[in-house]
Structure 1
């Protein structure tokens, strides 16, 4: 469980997380056979890159947080179900991994918005949470259209 003591630690964590997800989605895109699936994951990686740049700008603002409320975010890895290092990851497994990642990030940004003491920062975290929710929805729609239909 991660404990954040400063705004900078929160932003650094978020930036690192976005960088990891850029790598994750880029790698996932390379492993997919279907062109449209590759494009879906590459588009998400590009969105993550834009988000990472926004977080870098936030870091420069040095906005204050109510540190007493940001003690333990209880961000648990929800990816135990599927081994993301598998080289033969199925399309279904890839979508499940992606949905779980987006859900975790949504929770993280939502919790950050609740403890922000600055309106601009709170609004930014809410916007980031909404972007994560939209990305999760893209994967859910894809799952619904291509996985559930096949079963």
Structure 2
């Protein structure tokens, strides 16, 4: 469980998670054999890079969140236990891990949007949540079209 004390801590946490995901998706892209799958993971990594830069920009916003509404975000590190570095990570496993990561980040940004006090922060967090949902959908479609068909 993670408790944030300042707006900057939240943004730094989000930036750190984006950086972790950039590394994750880049690594997975390099390990996939299909060109379209490599491209999917690389494109997500590029989008995460843009998102990280957007988060850096809102660090200067004053009083971004209502601290009475966001006392404890209950962020769990359950995905940290998944060993995505194993050499025999299957395409199916990579997609499942990616979907779980995107779902967790969607929830995080949605909660941040709920507690946002100013329009810029709220819009930024909603846009970030929406982007996470789109990423999850891309992975779900890929899973549906290529993994479920093969099984």
The CA distance in 2 between the partners of 1:145 and 1:78, in whole Å, is: 27
Q: Secondary structure at the match of 1:79?
A: helix
1:48 aligned partner? 48
2:27 aligned partner? 27
Q: Deviations over 1:47-87 (max 9, x none)?
A: 00000000000112234311122221112234378421211
Q: CA deviation at 1:23?
A: 0.4
The CA distance in 1 between the partners of 2:85 and 2:140, in whole Å, is: 22
The CA distance in 2 between the partners of 1:52 and 1:62, in whole Å, is: 19
Q: CA deviation at 1:34?
A: 1.1
1:127 aligned partner? 127
- Indicate the larger mover: 67-76 or 97-106: 67-76
Q: Secondary structure at the match of 2:89?
A: coil
Contact 1:63–1:121 (8 Å) recurs in 2 = no
When the two structures are aligned, how many residues end up with a matched partner? 151
Contact 2:2–2:76 (8 Å) recurs in 1 = no
Query: TM-score of the superposition, structure 1-length normalised?
Result: 0.95
| Superposition pairs of residues 109-128 of structure 1, within 5 angstroms | 109-128=109-128
The CA distance in 2 between the partners of 1:81 and 1:3, in whole Å, is: 20
| Superposition pairs of residues 1-151 of structure 1, within 5 angstroms | 1-79=1-79, 82-151=82-151
What root-mean-square deviation, in Å, do the aligned CA atoms of Structure 1 and Structure 2 show?
Answer: 1.4
The CA distance in 1 between the partners of 2:80 and 2:131, in whole Å, is: 24
Q: 1:80 to 1:67 in 2, by over 3 A?
A: closer
Spell out structure 1 runs of 4+ moving beyond 3 A: none
Contact 1:29–1:39 (8 Å) recurs in 2 = yes
